[in-house]
Structure 1
């Protein structure tokens, strides 16, 4: 067997995603990152304050200027390939006599449009074009450009959307994510490390060559541990949607999952969609919500070692094989989609990787 070589991480500091300022790899400790399908990446690390100030002195930069929330980007490479980029949200100085540190927290680029609200109108527009239109609309405002461009990978759902008055003053991030969940014309999206927006029919690929076993039987990738949570706390099988209007003029729609009601019990939830002014749009959102909420939250988490799991080769959205046959009361067998990857990297560059999985709609 070939000797295992730990991965080589590179952490780069950029200014607004456009200009590389410094390689800060040697300064970063306790690296902790995650990627989520149609969600927000996260990145946490810390640096010694004396080492950080010395680094800035050597490159002739002001430490308070080059590491600033919503201005600075961090790009992460693994074995020479970019994994993702993120924007700094917090840069906290923790000062004490023995171990003064800079604690850095970053969010993925989806959160660049989180504190933005829509006034745009779309009629008969391809769903993924509406998604890009959301980003364009919020970037076209004075001081609103966050440097997101449209990437070369774009999927066409064939479904045209109408979003007229329905999206007045709706959160741009919520609107974008909600488009991916509708029952017709589903799609996935991602932001590349350099702030490009791309869309896909489904992120990832089917990977029959990747099999995770618990317990470790030496035949594939051995799981350190598995967690199989199962919760009905947020199970609802009748979504009563209420849109705009007052009293009898309020637009209402009820979406039910009768098989779920029969298997469990009737559980109702009133959802307010104050920005929606069209019955068909309300119906689409209610049906999408009940499809997800009417089942138990059952997302297995599997933790594996980086020695067996190559993150440059396996990513979010991939469908891998998972087998658990030790405990008959909680069997896992078959394909599962990787919904989230969370990674802790120690001082030796050893990785502990936790995969959040789902087999819904596979």
Structure 2
């Protein structure tokens, strides 16, 4: 009797997990484009790690790398080039790429160190959401080695573990719909969707046709993004859903918020050092770059985080790496 109960219970649990995973997969096209990029990159990393995909030059880093380094401009001597830049990426994400780098042994690794990956800002929280739902679900990093990635509470840790079921895909799709003014549902983050009223609370919910229209719009946008990433070998000008022109000149420079706060994050400095030390063992050449920001950066954030301090932070990382790391600083460095 007890044995039958456990067998039935186990089968039901497996079936429920399968349904949740399937729902997450179906919801993937309807989520935020940044999360769509993370999911696409996670699948690509698996292909690199399994040897299904081979690249001689890999571009790593955050959205600065993704939007600032174009594989099509590299000469034939660099072999096949792919841009693996991730929106809001922190060095902890790069540590999860090490098994793929060990398998690939690329001739050249180019990695951008952005101030957003050195200090704690609101970008760090966005990274945690993407990382937990995509890369931890894929690689399951040891929580004893990097416990802060699993959250500061039991609920966050549980949500991180459940990320492997891909329920976050369904959750993020609902959250993305909630940003529309005509859809006044708010979905709380976590392993399970929570519903409540968002501002403006007085507005009624969208009618089914409105919701369907928005869902189709999200799907079309992410399908286009998938085409862009495939055509450009991973390059994407953030939040621009047009095929990039042949010219590298940007017609529009978006200013950064003047209220951004950069807090010290020692574990980021250590993660960068750990990544670069191991990356030099898996590649003939590792080049660290500091991609310059637009003039808007120097008009706002540069007053809060001077370029000289940023330069010192990068040098303190690069100078500790034995075996030769090339560092190409920005023109203002």
Fold match by TM threshold 0.5: no
Higher strand fraction (1 or 2)? 1
Q: Which has the larger radius of gyration?
A: 1
- TM-score w.r.t. length of structure 2: 0.22
TM-score (norm 1): 0.20
